[in-house]
Structure formats: C-alpha cells, structure tokens
Amino acid sequence: MMAKEKKNTEVKYKLDDTDIKKFGISLNLVKDTNFITFLNQFINSIPLLVVVIHPKDYSIVLANKHIANSLNISVGKLIGKNFLDFLPPGEIRQRRKTYADKTIQDKKSINLIDKRGNKYFDSKTIPVIDSEGNVIYAIAIMQDVTKKKDAQKSLADKEQLFSSMIQISQDFTYITTKKGKIIYQSPSVNKILGYTEKRIGKSILEHVHPDDFSFAKDFVEEVVSKPGISKKIVVRVKDKK
C-alpha cells in the first residue's frame, strides 16, 4: 500500500519593514520553504553589521560577514552564541536587552543609538513574525555612525563659535529671508544704531539711508537671485538714536 503524499503546507512569515526601507530594501511575505536561506541571503545583502537572534535566549541563528569581521571571528563561531555577550557589559548591554525585549513584546521595530568607547552605533531590532502572530526571530542591524555624529558635533561647535563671535562683534550682522525680512540681528545693531529686536520681521532696507535705498535694494535682489554669491557694498544706515 502506497503512502499518501503529504501536501506541502505553505506557512508564511512577514518582516516589519518600516525601518528596513531606510536601507533601500522592501520585503513582502515569504514562504516557509527555504526561509532560513532567504533570511541568510537578505542579511548578507546589507552592507552593515547584522545578526538574526532567537527571541527566547538571544542566541545567534544567523550572522553576516560584516559583523563577523568587526568582531574578528568567523561567522560559524558566532552561531549559537548569546548576542548580548558580544556587547560591553553594564548599561549598554542592559539597554540593548530592554529594547530587544520590547521589540519582541510589541512586535515592532525599535531604533537605538548608543555609544561604545569613542564610537556611536545606530541599532535597529526588527521582529520576524509568523502567520500566527508570533515573533520567531529578531534581526539586529547595527551601523557605525561615528563620522556622522562627529560631523554634527563639529557643525554645532562652529555654530556656537559663530554665534559667540556675533554676540561680541561691533559689526552689524543680519540674517534675512529671501524677501529681505529680518529674522535675526546681532546685539550691535541695538547697541550702536538703537534698533531693538522689535524690528524682527521688518525689511532690512528700512535701516538704509534714503539716498542709498535704490542701490541697496538692487544689491539685495541680486544676492537673492544668485544663491552662494559673496559680494560687498557700502551703504549708509539710519541711526535711530
């Protein structure tokens, strides 16, 4: 008697791809057949540090070459190890566990930026959900954003320096809209000319001497029409005092 051929039942899983789209990848429902193969191909297509972990004990199920290289260990030796053991002990490890727990509990992607030594990492934990709504895996994606953070700090430092220089400078400094409306004026404008911050929102041309008004107006229009242009003019200003 021949045994009846067992029908292949299709079980589907889905990935919460809200944050994955940031990496230029969009995922649809995928078949249970060769799912691990698919997942392995997926994480190796991302040029970032990626591991797939089990939701119950955080053991590593899959890992890509990028995270293996960063840890100076082979991919094979990562499999089965507890993901949290590769994080610095203390606050960082506890925070990552808390966020991973929340991802699994809420079944939603979570973003976390943490600092490890002199480096910053943008980390995302993404749940893999089966057809019954259970989280069967979690994907942890980590990106070194140290250069971005350093650039932001450098920009903030420069802005602070620029602001400090304006505050003590005797030069008149204005920041205006494209239409010449004042949105910022340095303290020296009030100190020397007598114009208070009540002038914010008014036209910068109202500060110009009537005899130079036409010349100044042409200058403003030229600067607005040619972004990036650097040009100097000399005009007389009206002293409120």
Domain ranges of the chain: 12-149, 166-241
- What burial class does residue 155 get, using C-beta atoms within 10 Å of its C-beta: 0-12 exposed, 13-18 middle, 19+ buried? exposed
Per-residue pLDDT of the chain (241 residues; tens, 9 = 90+): 333 433 433 334 444 444 444 443 334 434 444 677 777 888 888 888 888 889 889 899 899 998 898 888 899 999 999 988 888 788 778 888 888 888 888 888 877 776 666 667 777 888 888 777 888 888 888 887 776 666 666 666 655 655 555 455 556 676 777 777 877 777 777 766 676 766 788 777 777 888 888 878 887 788 777 776 677 777 777 766 5
Q: What is the pLDDT of residue 18?
A: 47
| Cα 143 to Cα 113: distance, rounded to the nearest angstrom | 9
- Distance linking the first and last C-alpha atoms of the chain: 111
Q: What is the pLDDT of residue 209?
A: 80
Are 12-149 and 166-241 the same fold in CATH? Answer: yes
Q: What is the pLDDT of residue 89?
A: 80
Q: What is the pLDDT of residue 80?
A: 92
Nearest to 63 by CA among 157, 128, 116, 141: 141
Cβ pair 51, 140 in contact under 8 A: yes
Q: What percent of the chain has pLDDT over 90?
A: 4
Nearest to 83 by CA among 44, 104, 54, 43: 54
Q: Which amino acid makes up residue 56?
A: K
Q: Which fold has domain 12-149?
A: Beta-Lactamase (3.30.450)
What pTM value is reported for the model? 0.50
Q: According to the CATH classification, is domain 166-241 in 3.30.160.100?
A: no
